[in-house]
């Protein structure tokens, strides 16, 4: 079984407003990410409340950045009895149609997109390592990727939407 997690708890400082609610092609970035993960057996949103979808608070506390959302989803993954977590932040666009299949090519371990490590498939067996990493003061996603030895797969040029100009460049 596969759990899909939309990481949507960012503060959007560079964007100037809540970028998860920004529109691109008539849909919010949040709705676009949710649609991409509908293929998963279960869906959660980390970092915000979304009616009708299981919503998770960052773990172990707010303010840890995207790693707090990833950790909350990994904790839920264990309780849900799923083998893999598919994570997708609201602010990444340009995913190829076969992005998920390409990440699963990596085998049974954790795999993420080169240059966009929050686009990933995480193995349930990595949860104890992530918990220890955070409890030991780890906060950087890149450091976590190295520690869990996640395989990085090239999905092509992905676009990270950090500013309104980034969104405008996509037609939003």
Q: Tens digit of pLDDT for each residue in 44-102?
A: 999 999 999 999 999 999 888 899 999 999 999 988 888 899 999 999 999 999 999 99
- In this model, does residue 142 exceed pLDDT 80? yes
Average pLDDT over residues 127-139: 94
**Please, are residues 80 and 72 in contact by the beta-carbon 8 Å criterion?**
no
- CA-CA distance, 60 to 63, in Å (whole number)? 9
Fold of 2-169: Spore Coat Polysaccharide Biosynthesis Protein SpsA; Chain A (3.90.550)
User: If pLDDT is split at 50, 70 and 90, which confidence band does 105 have?
Assistant: confident
The answer to whether the pTM exceeds 0.85 is yes
| Average pLDDT along the chain | 92
């Amino acid at each position: 079984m596969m759990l899909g997690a939309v990481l949507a708890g960012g503060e959007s400082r560079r964007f100037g407003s809540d970028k998860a609610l920004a529109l691109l092609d008539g849909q919010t970035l949040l709705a676009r990410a949710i649609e991409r993960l509908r293929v998963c057996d279960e869906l959660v949103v980390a970092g915000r409340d979304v009616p009708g979808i299981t919503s998770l608070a960052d773990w172990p506390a707010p303010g840890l950045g995207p790693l707090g959302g990833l950790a909350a989803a990994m904790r839920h993954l264990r309780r849900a009895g799923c083998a893999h977590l598919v994570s997708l932040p609201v602010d990444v666009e340009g995913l190829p149609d076969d992005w998920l299949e390409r990440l699963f090519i990596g085998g049974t371990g954790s795999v993420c997109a080169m240059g966009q490590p929050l686009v990933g498939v995480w193995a349930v067996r990595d949860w104890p390592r992530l918990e220890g990493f955070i409890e030991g003061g780890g906060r950087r996603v890149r450091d976590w990727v190295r520690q869990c030895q996640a395989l990085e797969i090239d999905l092509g040029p992905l676009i990270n939407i950090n500013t309104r100009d980034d969104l405008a460049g996509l037609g939003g």
